[in-house]
Amino acid sequence: MAPPQASSVSLQDRVLALVKTLQFAWFSGHVLTLLGSFLYAFTLILFRTNPSYYKTAYFGALLSYGVVIYKSHGKPRPNAEYARKLVMDENAQYLLLAFFWFFSSPIAVTLIPFATFSAFHALGYVRTNIIPTVFPRPATAAANSTNGNAPAIAWQVKTQQRIKAWTDKYYGVAMRFVAQSEVTVVAVRLIFGLFRFNFLPFILYAQFLRFRYHLSTYTRQTFTELSTRFDRLLLPPTADPRIPAFVPKAYTVIKGMITKFGYSIVQSQPAPAQ
């Protein structure tokens, strides 16, 4: 028997069926992240910061990434295989990071990547689930398209097409923005925290960036671009001759340490059996 047309089911029943799914919980998490990030940024502008909005944003991130991990790997299992899968899953890394930020003092810039991801995920869910469920196409329009007629495109379809076109167009730009904000804005903010002897956030975030470098092409591209820019600025023959000699030497040492740290995760992997 063919399933009934969505429009033949009451709005209440359609919405209830939607909200009972894990995917809706995932969507709700992204909405909370967006709402909390926006409200916290707004209170910063007004110089009346409200940490509860910051917590709301990261509670949403914990909810959305927790759903993804559960759907991908099932219930937590205390064994090495499950742990290995989590280590190599970027969603698990963001879940761990969100957990840490949730229980730490607010650092506003850390919300940038999470809010950006949530914007695209929430828009995608609105396109594929909210619009068809809350505003289904009339049954007559669907029948006409089935019969080969060419009715005017419904506003629902136009809206879905516009959302998809926008997300497709700006997805790559957004991912580059996220990578750049993670490598520069967030990392630099945590480096300044070292002067206040706040070491744990920097150590944890350095580990996070090390994994991101190996799992994300956008992160690798950002590091490459930064390296090229600093090489031209600080190393001969393109460096300003007025730069003291110890500066390029110190830069070379620091760059070597960062490179060694980044690749140590690969070098420590056991060799495959022959």
Residue 246's H or E segment, with its range, is helix 246-267
Terminal alpha carbon distance of the chain: 55
Alpha-carbon gap, residue 119 to 107, rounded angstroms: 20
Alpha-carbon gap, residue 36 to 60, rounded angstroms: 8
Q: Would the pLDDT of 181 be above 50?
A: yes
pLDDT tens digits, 208-232: 999 999 989 999 999 999 999 999 9
pLDDT tens digits, 248-273: 999 999 999 999 988 876 544 443 33
pLDDT tens digits, 63-72: 999 999 999 9
* Single pTM value for the model: 0.87
Instruction: Give residue 141's pLDDT band: very low, low, confident or very high (50, 70, 90).
Output: low
Tokens of 205: 């975030």
What is the phi-psi region of residue 201: left when phi exceeds 0, alpha when psi lies from -120 to 50, beta otherwise?
Answer: alpha
